[in-house]
């Protein structure tokens, strides 16, 4: 690896859950994303940023085992974490003085509430620490498939809408992002072969902006290549596997930034 490359590690538990995701310093920034489970149930998510501090999200379930309420903790101020890279587990991270100081029970607040109908998520309200609504997202379904996602922000009612389309096999073949009634800003068209996604074309305001190509071997994803409108390779991802079929490591190259990410997986 060169000095400009970024190293990443991902750790999984015995149930296949991602538990620890560590991004080593890149452009002066380091991050840790950590997850705590009971069986398959996600209990909490911890986000740590070297220049900002912590964000902790805790989950409460309804009787049908859907995530009903998310709680978080208000940060009193931005608190950099210069020693973030010394932590190699969630347990270490949560025992740190900086995390204990951040996770003050007095600063806990309800961050979002989800509403379900026949096990389908139909609405989610996001809240600010003062209890006021920050955003509301509504979900519309047809034959059990999500066909519309409409998000409205704050008092100014700024919104964006995403509309989804499917083929007869239930594969999502298209989604459109709309910012107002006259502006279809983004469209993504997807093509499948034998149930596997092969190509995604990104269209911005009527013009082709990107093409993403997927390559497989024996049903396993080998690579993803993203090209711009001039057919110049922008980003490439290559997957390498262990003998048991699990991912060993992933190499991602961003040619625009002359940057490489190497992610190692641990089970």
Confidence at residue 19, expressed as pLDDT on a 0 to 100 scale: 97
**Rounded distance between C-alpha atoms, residue 95 and residue 74, angstroms:** 19
pLDDT at 96: 97
* Residues 137 and 121 sit within 8 Å (Cβ to Cβ): no
Question: What's the confidence (pLDDT) of residue 261?
Answer: 96
Q: What is the mean pLDDT of the chain?
A: 94
pLDDT of residue 70: 99
pLDDT at 4: 66
Beta-strand relationship, 172-180 and 183-193: antiparallel
Query: How many CB atoms sit inside 10 A of residue 220's CB?
Result: 12
pLDDT in tens, 122-134: 999 999 999 999 9
pLDDT of residue 184: 67
pLDDT of residue 2: 55
CA 68, 135, 163, 122 torsion-angle sign = positive
The pLDDT value given to residue 183: 66
Q: Nearest-CA neighbor of 46 among 13, 19, 80, 11?
A: 19
Instruction: Please report, in tens digits, the pLDDT of each residue of the chain (267 residues total).
Output: 555 689 999 999 999 999 999 999 877 899 999 999 998 899 999 999 999 999 999 999 999 999 999 999 999 899 999 999 999 999 999 999 999 999 999 999 999 999 999 899 999 999 999 999 999 999 999 999 999 999 998 766 778 899 999 999 999 999 999 887 666 689 999 999 999 999 999 999 889 999 999 999 999 999 999 999 999 999 999 999 999 999 999 999 999 999 999 999 999
**153, 148, 145: which is closest to 120 by C-alpha?**
145
Q: Is the Cβ–Cβ distance between 124 and 115 less than 8 Å?
A: yes
């Amino acid at each position: 690896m060169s000095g400009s490359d970024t190293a990443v590690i991902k750790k999984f538990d015995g149930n296949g859950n991602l538990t620890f995701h560590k991004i080593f310093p890149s452009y002066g920034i380091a991050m840790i994303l950590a997850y705590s489970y009971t069986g398959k149930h996600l209990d909490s998510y911890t986000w740590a940023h070297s220049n900002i501090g912590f964000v902790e999200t805790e989950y409460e379930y309804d009787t049908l085992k859907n995530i009903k309420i998310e709680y978080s903790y208000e940060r009193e101020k931005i608190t950099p974490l210069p020693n973030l890279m010394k932590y190699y587990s969630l347990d270490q991270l949560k025992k740190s003085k900086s995390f204990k100081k951040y996770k003050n029970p007095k600063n806990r607040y309800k961050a979002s509430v989800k509403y379900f109908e026949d096990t389908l998520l139909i609405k989610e309200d996001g809240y600010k620490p003062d209890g006021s609504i920050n955003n509301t997202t509504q979900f519309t379904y047809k034959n059990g498939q999500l066909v519309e996602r409409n998000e409205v922000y704050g008092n100014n009612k700024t919104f964006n809408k995403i509309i989804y389309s499917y083929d007869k096999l239930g594969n999502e073949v298209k989604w459109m992002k709309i910012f107002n009634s006259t502006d279809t800003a983004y469209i993504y068209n997807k093509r499948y072969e034998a149930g596997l996604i092969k190509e995604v074309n990104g269209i911005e305001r009527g013009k082709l902006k990107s093409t993403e190509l997927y390559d497989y071997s024996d049903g396993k994803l080998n690579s993803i290549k993203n090209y711009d409108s001039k057919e110049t390779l922008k980003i490439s991802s290559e997957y390498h596997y262990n003998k048991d079929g699990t991912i060993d490591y992933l190499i991602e190259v961003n040619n625009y930034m002359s940057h490489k990410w190497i992610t190692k997986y641990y089970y």
